[in-house]
Amino acid sequence: MRIKQMVVRAVLVAEMCVFGHMYLFGKNGLQVVRVQKKQLQGLQETVDQLQKEVDSLEGDISAWETNDFYKEKIAREQLQMARKGDKLYYIGT
């Protein structure tokens, strides 16, 4: 009877060790969950950064649609356009 109890306890301890190892390091264990949380946090930061960029571009679009001065500023600075009669000065490099 005593040997039977020892065998049952040994099997129970072995089973607890296996389940503990699976719980911590298994396919869906705590370590995998921690790595996925870090990845999720990095992706969320990327999404936030891109959302700020989208908001900025939407602000530029609305300014383009409503403000004539902004249209001219973009045309002159970014598109290198000029009105008729404007004198252009080229500063070479």
79-90 residue pLDDT tens: 776 666 766 666
Q: Where are the domains of the chain?
A: 22-77
| 24 and 31 Cβ atoms separated by less than 8 Å | yes
pLDDT band at 92 (very low <50, low <70, confident <90, very high): low
pTM of the shown model = 0.56
Which pLDDT value is given to residue 29? 84
What residues contact residue 88 under an 8 Å CB cut-off, 6+ apart? Answer: 82
Helix axes 30-66, 68-77, angle to 10 degrees: 110
Element (H, E) at 37: helix 30-66
